[in-house]
Amino acid sequence: MDEARIPKSRTSSELQAERRRTQRVQIAMPVLVRWSNGQKPFEEETHTVSINAHGCMLRLAAQVTRSQEVRIVNPKTAEELPCRVTFLGQRDSEKMEVGIEFTEPSPLFWRIAFPPEDWDPSERKRAPSRHGQGKTPRQL
The domain segmentation of the chain, as residue ranges, is 13-114
Contact between 71 and 33 under an 8 Å Cβ cutoff? The reply is yes
Contact between 70 and 88 under an 8 Å Cβ cutoff? The reply is no
Tell me the per-residue pLDDT of 45-77, one tens digit each, with 9 for 90 and over. Answer: 999 999 998 999 999 999 999 999 999 999 999
Question: What pLDDT score does 125 carry?
Answer: 61
Question: What pLDDT score does 123 carry?
Answer: 65
Cα–Cα distance, 126 to 102 (Å, whole number): 34
Torsion of CA 91, 28, 117, 20, to 10 degrees: 30
Output the 3-class SS for the chain: CCHHHCCCCCCHHHHHHHHCCCCCEECCCEEEEEEEECCEEEEEEEEEEEEECCEEEEEECCCCCCCCEEEEEECCCCEEEEEEEEEEEEECCCCEEEEEEECCCCHHHHCCCCCCCCCCHHHCCCCCCCCCCCCCCCCC
Instruction: Assign domain 13-114 to its CATH superfamily.
Output: predicted glycosyltransferase like domains (2.40.10.220)
| Residue 119, CB-side half-sphere exposure with 13 Å CA sphere | 12
Cα–Cα distance, 132 to 130 (Å, whole number): 6
Tell me the per-residue pLDDT of 34-49, one tens digit each, with 9 for 90 and over. Answer: 999 878 899 999 999 9
pLDDT of 11 above 80? no
0.75 exceeded by pTM: no
